[in-house]
Amino acid sequence: MSSNKGNILIVDDNKSILTSLEILLNPEFSLVRSLANPNQILSELRKNDFNLVVLDMNFSAGVNNGNEGFYWLRRIKEFNPDISVVMITAYGDIDTAVRALKEGASDFVLKPWDNEKLLATLKLAIQLNLSKKELRHLRDRESGLKNEINRDHREIIGSSSKILEVLKMARKVAGTDANVLITGENGTGKELIAKEIHRLSCRADELLVSVDMGAIPETLFESELFGHVKGAFTDARENRQGKFKLADKGTLFLDEIGNISFHLQSKLLAAIENRKITRIGSNEPISTDIRLICATNKNLVNMVKESLFREDLLYRINTIQIELPPLRERGNDIIELADFFLKKFILKYNKPDLRINHQAYDKLMRYTWPGNIRELQNTIEKAVILCDTSVVKPEDLYLKPAGNISPESLPTLEAMEEKLISMAIEKNNGNLTAAAEQLGITRQTLYNKFRKNKPDVK
């Protein structure tokens, strides 16, 4: 059965009409059902996926005002707003037809009908239903994609006064559309704060589009941000939406904005000021509705003084500035974050009994964390991988109290590789195939590495 030809339900109390329509429609459509009693309409709609209902307007003898048809039209639309309904009657006039269309009918047909015109009308009504279904499917898919993209909500860990002040500021600005500039050292969690502002905003159901400005080559700057039309340049094989348009109705997060070269800053400023972009190869301006959040680890004020950053662009992007504190200034947040990462990695590496002792906590607190939270996460993951006991001790952290890590204190790649291989084989009870799959390598590669690390094993 070809479902794209459409399924039709005919409702008419005149059995000769039903028979005539069945004979006419059966060769043309996938499924044709007929009812003489309108009280069975909803039951029939539950049984089959109909694209169209052909509905008579009068069912009681001597009544021709069409009210019965309008009643069932409303019931059908309440059950399924997308289903097409074509009203059919022998007692029609302009006012009745207009009312039927206003109340949701797709079309209005008078008896007796012309077969060819009726078929064309019904096929058009079915196409309308299929288009509505496709549109709903696309909207549901878009909504699902947005939810999937935005669902990575990671809790911001910490209870120090400095991080609480940052979160308080984030909550205040989230309800506005003010441009926000987030500053702070690398690894302090600037993107997390941007996501938190988006999550708490009225745009939370739309996309947050993140762009690493430092990773975009100058030659691709306009194409990446504003888009291009097919044929605009050699490799422009199709139309492309830029990040500004992709973030329409949502939030655009420009990370590492201090890395944009001076001559490109004017183009970014124009897009931000006008909320309009022009794709490469087109002369047509496109309006965009975005909430702008930027981030940098650079001192933009100093860059302005050195003529490396436009002063007008700085004023435009930092209506509100949020400064993230470095990890070394967050006190016991270091312990909270270490415990958070420990729970994460003991699950990942199947070491449920692992804990950190007090001496190791002291070492974490004394360290200056030049790489901030990102470095702490890496340190805890490394400790979980390499720790041979159920307790993470100071020597498992590979940190020096002064905060400067010497190359000699780091484990070798070979040592970490051997540890991971041993853990994977042990976790999979010696099954090399399963262990290789877990590690993302082939069984032969795993076997070769295992033999290399343990040459005495045959």
251-286 per-position pLDDT tens digit: 999 999 999 999 999 999 999 999 999 999 988 899
Region 364-387: mean pLDDT is: 94
DSSP codes of every residue in 372-402: HHHHHHHHHHHHHHH--SSEE-GGGS---TT
* pLDDT band at 131; cut points 50, 70, 90: confident
Q: Which residues of 236-261 are buried (b: 16+ CB within 10 A; e: fewer)?
A: beeebebbbbbbbebbbbbbbbbebe
In the structure, what pLDDT confidence band is assigned to residue 4 with cuts at 50, 70 and 90? low
Positions of CATH 3.40.50.300 in the chain: 161-325
Q: What is the helix (H) or strand (E) element at residue 17, kind and residue range?
A: helix 15-25
- The architecture in CATH of the region 3-138 reads 3-Layer(aba) Sandwich (3.40)
At 418, list the tokens: 């051997």
Predicted local distance difference test score (pLDDT) of residue 2: 41
Q: Which residue has the higher pLDDT, 110 or 443?
A: 110
**Per-residue exposure over 308-334, b if at least 16 CB sit within 10 Å of its own CB, e if not:** ebbeebbebbbebebebbbbbebbebb
Start-end ranges of CATH 1.10.8.60 in the chain? 327-411
Radius of gyration of the chain (CA): 33
pLDDT digits (tens, 9 = 90+) for 18-46: 999 999 999 999 899 999 999 999 999 99
- The burial of 95, by beta-carbon neighbours within 10 Å (0-12 exposed, 13-18 middle, 19 or more buried), is given as exposed
Q: Where in the chain is the domain with CATH 1.10.10?
A: 412-458
- The mean pLDDT of 417-441, rounded to a whole number, is 77
Our CA angle for 110, 114, 115, nearest 5°, is 120
- pLDDT confidence of residue 143: 61
53/450: higher pLDDT: 53
Enter the tokens of residue 270.
């124009």
- Written as six digits, the tokens of 19 are 């028979």
Specify which of 132-146, 208-222, 390-404 reaches the highest per-range mean pLDDT.
208-222
- Tally the residues of the chain: 458
pTM listed for this prediction? 0.61
The burial of 453, by beta-carbon neighbours within 10 Å (0-12 exposed, 13-18 middle, 19 or more buried), is given as: middle
DSSP 69-127: HHHHHHHHHHH-TTSEEEEEESS--HHHHHHHHHTT-SEEEESSPPHHHHHHHHHHHHH
- Whether the CB-CB separation of 12 and 36 falls below 8 Å is answered with yes
Average pLDDT over residues 52-72: 83
Calpha distance 358→392 (Å, rounded): 9
In 318-427, which ranges are continuous DSSP H helix?
333-348, 358-366, 372-386, 413-427
CA distance 51 to 211: 43
Considering only residues 398 and 454, tell me which one the structure prediction assigns the higher pLDDT.
398
Q: For the residues 326-336, what does the mean pLDDT come to?
A: 96
Please compute the mean of the pLDDT values over residues 52-78 and round it to a whole number: 85
User: What percentage of residues in the chain have a pLDDT greater than 90?
Assistant: 59
Tell me the three state secondary structure of residue 331: coil
Could you please state the CATH topology (level 3) that the domain comprising 412-458 is classified under.
Arc Repressor Mutant, subunit A (1.10.10)
How far apart are the C-alpha atoms of 56 and 73, rounded to whole Å?
10
Structure tokens at 456: 């005495």
Residues 290-329 have pLDDT tens digits of 999 999 999 999 999 999 999 999 999 999 999 999 999 9
Q: Where in the chain is the domain with CATH 3.40.50.2300?
A: 3-138
Q: Exposed/middle/buried for 437, CB within 10 Å: 0-12, 13-18, 19+?
A: middle
Which among 1, 19, 13 has a CA at the least distance from the CA of 41?
13
The domain over range 327-411 is classified in CATH as 1.10.8.60: yes
- What is the full DSSP assignment across 19-71? HHHHHHHTTTSSEEEEES-GGGHHHHHHHS--SEEEEES--STT--SSHHHHH
> Taking Cα atoms as reference points, which of 174, 126, 173, 160 lies closest to residue 28?
126
Q: Give 181's DSSP letter.
A: E
Q: Kindly indicate whether the domain formed by 161-325 is annotated with CATH number 3.30.360.10.
A: no
First-to-last alpha carbon distance for the chain, in angstroms, is 61
